[in-house]
Structure 1
Amino acid sequence: MFERFTKDAREVVRGAVALCRNAGGGTVGPEHLLLALLDREASRGSFALAALGLPAEGREPVREALDEARRRAGLSRADADALAGLGIDVSEIVSRVEEVHGVGAMSGDRRDTGRRTGRSGLGRPGSGRPGFGREAKSVLEESLRIALAHRDRHIGDEHLLLALTARPGPPAEVLADHGVTHVSLTRVLYAGGEARAG
């Protein structure tokens, strides 16, 4: 599938792996893909974000919100609210864990070479290269489905962005908080049905 990716989409995937590795994580998640997308400039995805009011210089609040979600072990606000309904205060749990183990202890970004299995084919055991987790793989697969549905020949970073907004979880939630939804992105990218990735 990677051969169908445009240069921008490949850079997003490589950037996600680098972000995960630099943070000490063993598994690339959807949040790494979104963070790598936020770093792109002059791509269809970055132009779509800017058109929706999220220019490159204004993306720091999105990064901060993703960091906060990672501190909650990737739980979305909806997940935290559901747990609160059961009497479980996620903020309190995070605070207690961080008191003992340090800030970010629940994020999964801790150096643990034993967890680097590389079962995705993008990483190898002992290679130090993080593998792709199930959710990140699902985003990549969804980007292919989206590209095919729009009859695009290649998978661009805009398809990765659309896939991130189509799946529930912190990336979609954070983007929606900033006015970037699957519907609004589709409208910006495919108004009139003439826009195509290439």
Structure 2
Amino acid sequence: MFERFTEGARRAVVQAQEEAAGLGHEHIGTEHLLLAVLARPEDPAAAVLVEAGLDHATARQAVRRLLGEGGDAQALASIGVDLDAVRDAVESVFGAGALDAPVEEAEPRRRGWFRSDAKGRRAPFTARARKVVELSLRESLRLKSGHIGVGHLLLGVIREGEGLGAKVIADHGLDFAALRRAIEAKTG
């Protein structure tokens, strides 16, 4: 199935992993897929949400409100330390990615997008997030697209309809049917 993913959709899946890690979450859920789509506002599917008033910053704030931040980030936030502000300050002086840990070689192992590596460094996809990816394929087939793009991932989030990604959209007051029509018009 992954051979059908466009480069943009592949980047969105990787971005979802980065969104989860950035929030300190130990899973990759539908909310992280939504954030990944919104991280690329130039994509036509993301533009539909942005034009409706749901941008990356707004969605990220909603995810934080719903889930909080995992690990030490939550403890530091409770005493007034904003890790995003700290990261921004450090990266402005030392460059992007200055606080990122070096990537180590993983031991050979059965791998895939939905599993962690041998050392457990990648968060697993939730069942709902896996369902969204499956639904994105179904949306692509239904629309006779021949590929799975970012828009299909977003349609999968909407079609799944019960994960936190869908909740963020619904809580923003957006109508799923109207979004679906707008995304389909831009996705094809």
| TM-score bucket of the superposed structures, by smaller chain | 0.5 to 0.7
Map 1:87-126 to 2 at 5 A.
102=75, 121-122=112-113, 123-126=116-119
Residue by residue over 1:79-127, the C-alpha shift from the partner in whole angstroms, topping out at 9 and shown as x without a partner, is xxxxxxxxxxxxxxxxxxxxxx84789xxxxxxxxxxxx9872332315
2:184 to 178, 186, 190: 190
Counterpart CA distance in 1 for 2:124 and 2:75 is 25
Residue by residue over 1:2-54, the C-alpha shift from the partner in whole angstroms, topping out at 9 and shown as x without a partner, is 21111211111010112223333332111111111111132121222234x22
SS of 1:131 mapped into structure 2: coil
Counterpart CA distance in 2 for 1:136 and 1:72 is 19
Aligned length: 152
Partner of 1:170: 164
Map 1:1-198 to 2 at 5 A.
1-51=1-51, 53-54=52-53, 56=55, 59-71=56-68, 102=75, 121-122=112-113, 123-166=116-159, 167-191=161-185, 196-197=187-188
Counterpart CA distance in 2 for 1:26 and 1:120 is 18
- What letter is aligned with 2:169? L
Counterpart CA distance in 2 for 1:70 and 1:26 is 11
2:59–2:168: 8 Å Cα contact kept in structure 1? Answer: yes
1:146–1:163: 8 Å Cα contact kept in structure 2? Answer: yes
1:143–1:163: 8 Å Cα contact kept in structure 2? Answer: yes
Deviation at 1:72, TM superposition (A): 10
TM-score under structure 1 length normalisation: 0.65
SS of 1:48 mapped into structure 2: helix
2:45–2:154: 8 Å Cα contact kept in structure 1? Answer: yes
Deviation at 1:144, TM superposition (A): 0.7
Distance change >3 Å, CA 15–CA 175, structure 1 → 2: same
2:19–2:36: 8 Å Cα contact kept in structure 1? Answer: yes
Structure 2 unmatched ranges of 5 or more = 79-108
Deviation at 1:67, TM superposition (A): 1.2
TM-score under structure 2 length normalisation: 0.68
Residue by residue over 1:52-95, the C-alpha shift from the partner in whole angstroms, topping out at 9 and shown as x without a partner, is x2264xx433221121111399xxxxxxxxxxxxxxxxxxxxxx
